[in-house]
Amino acid sequence: MGMIARRWSGSVRAEDSEPYQAYLLDTGLKDYRNTPGNLGSQLLRRVEEDLVHFEITSFWKDEESIRLFAGEDIGKAVFYPMDQRYLVRKDERVAHFELAFLEGPRSLD
């Protein structure tokens, strides 16, 4: 199996979106970067009325690398202490995909 993409999503109230995004960058996304075998990540956000939806995709060398971050049950989402304060909806499980194709973003210029 090649590179693995790990996907999770959650939603917060619009007024919490900026502090929650900063929290994500300082917790999970930082921990991804510090885990051996992590090959990068992306954070997407979508505003929908009074909610903001976040989706994180992280890229991993192999399942063993994911275990270093997530523990033995790699399908279980990892949460941090303040997540319960912000999240109004969250995936308890993550989805893993084998990366079939990857092309980087192009400049808008």
The CATH number of residue 72's host domain is 3.30.70.100
Residue 79 lies in a domain: yes
Give a yes or no: residue 109 inside a domain. Answer: no
pLDDT under 50: residue ranges of the chain: none
- Give residue 1's pLDDT: 65
- Domain assignment present for residue 23? The answer is yes
User: Which residue segment(s) compose the domain that 9 sits in?
Assistant: 4-98
Q: What is the pTM of this model?
A: 0.92
Identify the pLDDT of residue 106: 83
Q: Does residue 103 lie within any of the structural domains?
A: no
CA distances from 106 to 42, 55, 58, 82, 109 (A): 15, 20, 20, 35, 9
In a domain, 48, yes or no: yes
Residue 107, domain member (yes or no): no
Total count of domains within the chain: 1
Is 106 inside a domain boundary?
no
